[in-house]
Amino acid sequence: MSGDPIPMTDAAATPPATSAAGPATGQGSAAGPVVRIQGVDKTFSRGGRVVTKALEAIDLDVAQGEFISLIGPSGCGKSTLLRIVGDLTSPSAGTVNVNGKTAQQARRDRDYGMVFQAPVLFDWRTVEDNVKLPLEILGWDGPRRTARAREMLELVELSDFLQHHPYQLSGGMQQRVAIARALAFAPAILLMDEPFGALDEMTRERMNSEVLRIWQQTGTTILFVTHSIPEAVFLSSRVVVMSARPGRITRIVDVDLSQPRTEDTRESRRYFELVTEVREALRAGGDDLDDAGTVNGTASFGRTTVEGAAG
Ligand SMILES: Nc1ncnc2c1ncn2[C@@H]1O[C@H](COP(=O)(O)OP(=O)(O)O)[C@@H](O)[C@H]1O
Ligand SMILES: [Mg+2]
């Protein structure tokens, strides 16, 4: 969408710098976690004065192929944590290792694909050309770019829309283009920040199934931020529950629902139990999702704009 704030979401379109496009699996040290977060704090300061303590003492290991959701009240630092992992901002204390490297090195090595709430697509480019963009800057030759873009668009079931422009697509379709683009260079880790937050409930559920299917086909590791308890439970292998500011991890819920997850999953008793468990963990963390619609006076859907200014 041409009117979207570019800065924050720009990372989604950042071209990969290497030509690595092998399978998303098998990266990093054999047995070590893909992402290791240790003792991470984040404070935002203005004029040398601490304005916001956003994150406190975050420790988290993410194994190869996991699907991790971060959930917590608005403003608890979910996006900040994802941005720290993706090296879009640095922690005030603590370390992040990705595939045994610093986050900065991992970003240089294009270990990340990123998808944000507003898909930043270029309206003057066709769907196919949007997906090709990172590959273009990578220096892939024409036929290889075309083959890869088409393969990715088939994966998100948009083969019939190659020559359309983004403004001709629904919100859900646009988000699928953004996902196809993020996956085009086979990143080891997919960072997704409320990618379906702006979609209606039905579309969101379909997108959930879609992202699970892609996750299973590609074997990529996913870190997914969401406001939605059902979404977190449906998608994840583990749900990381965060408290209100300063964001701390208060609970990690193992989601032992069988794979693949289907519409029946949403009606299973275990699913309801887990949804309740996550909801209670959120309450115990001192806030309720419904109480926290705004951050610093900015409606949560507008937060990409706030984050766009983030250093
Ligand atoms: N660049 C920034 N400058 C100052 N404060 C920020 C910045 N980015 C985020 N914050 C603050 O840090 C806290 C966590 O924000 P965020 O990570 O966006 O929360 P969430 O994604 O969980 O809603 C909020 O209080 C927010 O206002
Ligand atoms: Mg956020």
User: Closest residue (by CA) to atom 1 of ligand 1?
Assistant: 310
Q: How many CB atoms lie within 10 A of CB 147?
A: 12
Angstrom distance (rounded) from CA 125 to CA 128: 8
Q: Which residues pair with 240 in a beta bridge?
A: 70, 252
CA distance 108 to 30: 21
The ligand whose atoms approach the alpha carbon of 44 most closely is 1
Query: What integer pLDDT is reported at residue 307 of this predicted model?
Result: 31
- Read off the amino acid at residue 86: G
Helices assigned H by DSSP within the chain = 6-13, 78-85, 103-108, 127-138, 142-155, 171-183, 201-218, 229-235, 269-284, 303-308
The residues near 143 (Cβ < 8 Å, ≥ 6 apart) are none
Q: Do residues 165 and 173 make contact, with C-beta atoms less than 8 angstroms apart? A: no
pLDDT value, residue 5: 33
Per-residue pLDDT for the chain (311 aa), expressed as one digit of tens each?
333 333 333 334 444 333 333 333 434 445 689 999 999 999 999 988 988 999 999 999 999 999 999 999 999 999 999 999 999 999 999 999 999 999 999 999 989 999 988 888 999 999 999 999 989 988 999 999 999 999 999 988 899 999 999 999 999 999 999 999 998 888 889 999 999 888 888 888 888 988 898 899 889 999 999 989 999 999 999 999 999 989 999 999 999 999 999 999 999 999 999 999 999 999 998 754 544 333 333 333 333 323 333 32
Which among 94, 214, 237 has a CA at the least distance from the CA of 153?
Answer: 214
What's the pLDDT at 21?
37
**Which ligand has an atom closest to residue 293 CA?**
1
The H-or-E segment that residue 58 falls in is strand 49-62
80 lines ligand 1 (CB under 6 A): yes
Q: Locate 104 and state its tokens.
A: 């900065």
The protein residue with its alpha carbon nearest to ligand 1, atom 26, reads 75
Ligand 1 within 6 A of 44 CB? Answer: yes
Distance from Cα 115 to the centre of ligand 2, integer Å: 12
Q: Rounded to the nearest whole angstrom, what is the distance from the C-alpha of residue 125 to the centroid of ligand 2?
A: 28
Judge if the beta carbon of residue 74 lies within 6 A of ligand 1.
Answer: yes
Q: What is the pLDDT of residue 17?
A: 39
Ligand 1 contact, 46 CB (< 6 A): no
Tell whether ligand 1 has an atom less than 6 A from the beta carbon of residue 226: no
* H or E element in which residue 93 lies: strand 93-98
What number does the ligand 1 atom closest to the CA of 73 have?
Answer: 22
Q: Is the CB of 52 under 6 A from ligand 1?
A: yes
Q: Ligand 1, atom 18: nearest CA belongs to which residue? A: 79
pLDDT at 146: 97
Burial class (CB in 10 A: 0-12, 13-18, 19+), 236: buried
Residue 75 CA to ligand 1 center (angstroms) comes to 6
Which residue puts its alpha carbon closest to atom 12 of ligand 1?
A: 54
Which residue of 9, 41, 44 sits with most ligand 1 atoms within 8 Å of its CB, as the best mutation to test the pocket? 44
Going by alpha carbons, the residue nearest to atom 7 of ligand 1 is: 310
Q: Cis peptide leading into 260, omega within 30 of 0?
A: yes
